[in-house]
Structure 1
Amino acid sequence: MQILSVLTRKTKTFFKISNELKIEFLKAFFYTGFYRAFILFVPFNKLRKRMGKHKEESAAKETRDVYKIASHISWVVTLISSKTPWESKCLVQALTAQRMLKSKNISTTIYLGVRKEGNEMKAHAWLRCGEYYVTGGAIRDQYTVVAKFAN
């Protein structure tokens, strides 16, 4: 019964938000699913081509308006990623945010990093727009960059 009331409340909230925000949420939901499936079923070389130009970086600074948009997209992607029925971790989030920012002609850089934790290698991805880290940037210092892609 409680699940039904939560679902009802969330549905009402969704219908109260603006149409523009609804579209952004739906795009983020679709892109997270698309990129998750892409990661699972397509070789990395094909994914790499979608990520941008290898070994290049986007501009180090952007305008205040661009940072505002990047911050908003960061919020949308983070929120939707926590609600998807599939795993939407760092690489999925970075690719989703990159795609949404690219549609607004905003250039970004995806970084792929690794670190050794005991006997295991851990990987992480994060997205930068100017000086702002859109996704995954909070723990980027724990990883060594092995690849970067700019669009």
Structure 2
Amino acid sequence: MVTAVLCVLALAGCGSRVTGTAKALQITDVEHTLVTSYFTALNEAGTQGVTQQRELLADTQHPDFREGDCELPDGTIRVQPTMSTLRLDPDWTPPGQDEHPRGVVVVVAVTLTVVQDGIEIGSQIGSQHLVLLNGKTYGFAPCAT
């Protein structure tokens, strides 16, 4: 009888289920604020001039992907994110790379406008990936195509 009780207890331990509901990872207010602050700083730097914006882009380039700098278009960029589209993108890797960047990858729809001498010369709608790492938002500088 003792053996039977031990067997039942052993089987119960192996087959027990964890109660609760699985929840998908979600964007919190912290991530939302980090992303919003990134775009605010980027656009403010653009109003200060080309040099200031390029310095900010260099400072916020993901630390693992800094050697891949590219030439920015002449002028500055203004980026308007659609924050309601902000979501996690854990499987994303930068184009041409095999490894996932360190940190939490998020993606958001943006309207990117190139401004030269105060005149909008082009606008494009797309997705922008950012990485949240150690309380800071990092990006991947846009390249002229």
- Give the TM-score taking structure 1 as reference length: 0.34
Structure holding more strand per residue:
2
More helix by share: 1
Greater CA radius of gyration, 1 or 2? Answer: 2
What is the TM-score with the length of structure 2 in the denominator? 0.35
